[in-house]
Amino acid sequence: MEKKTEQYDVVIIGGGAAGLTAGIYCGRARLKTLIIEKALVGGLATYTNEIENYPGFPEGETGLGLMELFHKQAKKFGVKFKLTDVRGVQLEGDVKVVETFRTNYECKAVVLASGGKPRLTGSKGEDKYLYDKGISFCATCDAAANTGKTVMVIGSGDAAIEEGMFLTKFASKVIVSVMHEEGKMDCNEIAREEALQNPKMEFKWNTVTEEFKGGERLESVVLKNLKTGELDDVKVDTCFIFIGYLPNTEIFKGIVDMNRAGYLITNEKMETNIPGVYAAGDVRDKWLKQVSTAVGDGAIAGYACEKYIAESEQFENQIMAGDLPGLVFVYNAVDPKARALMPVIEQFEETHAGRVKVTRVDVYKSEGIANRLGISETPCAVCIRDGQKAGTLAENISMESLEKLMGLSLVESK
Amino acid sequence: MAEYTVDCLGEACPVPLMKVQKKMETMAVGDVLVAQIDHSCAMKNIPEWARNQGHNVEIEEVDDGEWEIVIEKTK
């Protein structure tokens, strides 16, 4: 099968809260935007039954319901959606390529919002029973199938305890394996209190999983007591694992800077180490992973894409292109020394009108163009000839030195 | 390269996934299966399972809350 090629301004990898928000900002800025999501639009939030801390919804909202609203809003701004997984990326250079198994999407800017996936215990037998064979990561998905049955929950974080309580509405018994001392959990206080009072919940303190056992399907989980080393073979119908997440960054390895755990490193503008490539949401190395913080990341990344693309166009169409040689004056508007030079630039522009195209670039607003020109100090004058940087002048900027930089003789200028 | 369809409309998890798994067993490499679903959790477990098996997966949203999962059998 031959691969198709399609062009977009922005491609966003991942359709969770961060990706959808970036999409809303890009779409609203009238950029041709594509969001690629490998499964259900809404991402990890759709696995949560109840979201009560996302501002604006005092009555609470289901994860799926909230994400449907995000999706609708992105669609309203003309964002396109493709539901498939990304196979590879080429992020260097001006044209970036995002590959799926059928299509190569070419674009100017990319937002990496690929989120994470459930972390596994790594215990013996685990790989044999994943997903439909008895180990689940989604209570919302598999609770109904466990009506009247005995299930186990691994973990004691917010997700583990809240999903565990949700499961008690269906299962007859929910056994929770907690690695901490009796009474200690990683979840919030309110959830902890409620869970301890729930008659259908039974806690196995100081335990971790040792082995998953069964035939075709999972039949029991062997827990190991961390204190006594004792093994406890517990019969269960389904085991739900909620012990955190791992970032989906395998395809970015060796391309985008990441920390040891694989989370992508960005600055506060969501910029990665590659120009025009931004990261947002749970895939980023950050402190608090919530829908509300993902939304903030997405907004910044979307805005950054718009600025980056506008700057690229300005750089190519105004600064580097054209028949006339160009003089680019790079300055910082808050620097008095630079402001004092403005009349000189103005005089130069008037004197050589029709011979030199003068552009002013204020780094106070954005350093993007200065970076592209390789300028770190301001004020600075740059000569552009035939689409190339032909010279720079950082000191003693005057009418004479500018003319010399541009190769104009004084006689000619009269 | 044949194309098959399984209708899972109105069916809740884990039924759609089980239907897909059964059908895939009978198919040859290169065949394509289109699973019609309208239960959002099947959007999670079907693509996840199929990709874990190494198959190619693409999803089309045919209507609001109604999807077709296209799976190309690769082995």
Closest B-chain CA to A40: B43
C-alpha to C-alpha distance for A171 and A201, rounded to whole angstroms: 10
- The single-letter DSSP state of residue A318 is I
Q: How far is B24 from chain A (nearest CA, A)?
A: 15
The one-letter code for the residue type at A126 is: E
Question: At a CB cut-off of 8 Å and minimum separation 6, what does B18 contact?
Answer: A132
Query: Each residue of A329-385: pLDDT tens digit?
Result: 999 989 998 888 999 999 999 999 888 999 999 998 888 888 888 888 889 999 998
Other beta carbons within 10 Å of A332: 19
Helix, strand, coil % in chain A, rounded to nearest 5: 30, 30, 40
Average pLDDT of the residues in A276-292: 94
- Position B14, amino acid: P
User: Which residues in B lie closer than 8 A to residue A39 (C-beta atoms)?
Assistant: 43-44, 47-48, 59
Q: Which CATH architecture has domain B3-72?
A: 2-Layer Sandwich (3.30)
Measured CA to CA, the distance from residue A113 to residue A35 in angstroms comes to 10
Decide: B41 and B9 in contact? Cβ < 8 Å. Answer: no
A233-244 confidence digits (pLDDT tens): 999 999 999 998
User: Which domain-ending residue is among A315, A330, A357?
Assistant: A315
Residue by residue, pLDDT tens for chain B (75 residues) are: 799 999 999 988 888 999 999 999 999 999 999 999 998 888 888 998 898 889 999 998 888 889 999 999 998
Q: Of A256, A259, A260, whose CA–CA distance to A275 is shortest?
A: A256
Instruction: Give the burial string for A46-61 (b: 16+ CB within 10 Å, else e).
Output: bbbbebeebeeeeeeb
A92 and A140, same domain (yes or no): no
Q: Is residue A121 part of a domain?
A: no
Same domain for A133 and A281? no
What does A89-141 look like in DSSP terms, one character per residue? EE-SSSSEEEE-SSEEEEESEEEE---EEEPP---BTGGGSBGGGSEES-HHH
CA dihedral A143→A148→A154→A158, nearest 10 degrees, is 60
- CB of A105 closer than 8 Å to CB of A9: no
ω into residue A379 within 30 of 0, thus cis?
A: yes
In a domain, A411, yes or no: no
Q: Is there a contact between A14 and A36 (Cβ–Cβ < 8 Å)?
A: yes
Distance CA A130, CA A73 (A): 35
How far is the CA of A88 from the CAs of A99, A116, A158, A207, in angstroms?
A: 5, 17, 33, 40
Q: In terms of CA atoms, which chain A residue is nearest residue B72?
A: A101
Please check whether residues A222 and A279 belong to one and the same domain: no
How distant is the Cα of A79 from the closest Cα of chain B, in angstroms? Answer: 14
* pTM (predicted TM-score): 0.79
Mutate to test the interface with B, among A80, A131, A147, A250 (most CBs of B within 10 A): A131
Burial of A247 (0-12, 13-18, 19+ CB in 10 A): buried
What is the reported pLDDT for A414?
44
Q: Look at A39 and B48 and tell me if their CB atoms are within 8 Å.
A: yes
- Is the per-residue pLDDT at A38 higher than 50? yes
Q: CA nearest B46 in A: which residue?
A: A39
* Residue at A413 is within a domain: no
Give a yes or no: residue A373 inside a domain.
Answer: yes
- Round to whole Å and give the CA distance between B50 and B32: 12
Asked if residue A250 and residue A238 are part of one domain, the reply reads no
Angle of the A291-314 helix axis to the A17-28 helix axis, nearest 10 = 40
Q: How far apart are CA A330 and CA A122, in angstroms?
A: 55
Q: Dump the DSSP string for A40-70.
A: STTGGGGG-S-B--STT-TT-B-HHHHHHHH
Q: How much helix, strand and coil, in percent to the nearest 5, is found in chain B?
A: 30, 35, 35
pLDDT of residue A409: 63
The residue with tokens 């961060």 is A18
Token pair of A70 as six digits: 């995000």
Q: Find the mean pLDDT for residues A293-301.
A: 97
- How many CA atoms are closer than 13 Å to the CA of B57, on its beta-carbon side? 29
Cβ B31 vs Cβ B4: under 8 Å: yes
Residue A229, domain CATH: 3.50.50.60
CA–CA separation, A152 and A154 (whole Å): 7
Task: Residue A156: give the domain boundaries.
Answer: 126-243
Which residues on chain A are in Cβ contact (under 8 Å) with B57?
38, 84-85
Domain boundary among A278, A298, A315: A315
The total number of residues shown for chain B amounts to 75
- State chain B's mean pLDDT as an integer: 91
d(CA A146, CA A160) in angstroms, rounded, equals: 17
Hey, are the CB atoms on B43 and A39 less than 8 Å from each other? yes
DSSP secondary structure string for all residues of A143-211: SGGGTTSEEEEE--SHHHHHHHHHHTTTSSEEEEE-SSSTT--SS-HHHHHHHHH-TTEEEETTEEEEE
pLDDT at residue number A1 = 58
Average pLDDT over residues A94-119: 94
CB pairs under 8 A between A and B: 59
For residue B26, give both structure tokens: 């009978």
Write down the pLDDT at residue A410.
53
Q: Among A105, A132, A166, which would you mutate to test the B interface (most chain B Cβ atoms within 10 Å of its Cβ)? A: A132
A384 and A328 both lie in a single domain: yes
Out of A195, A213, A243, a domain closes at: A243
Q: State pLDDT tens for residues A166-199.
A: 999 999 999 999 999 999 999 999 999 999 999 9
Count of domains for chain A: 3
What pLDDT, on a 0 to 100 scale, did the predictor assign at position A413?
Answer: 45
Query: What residues of chain A lie within 8 A of the CB of B31, using their CB?
Result: none
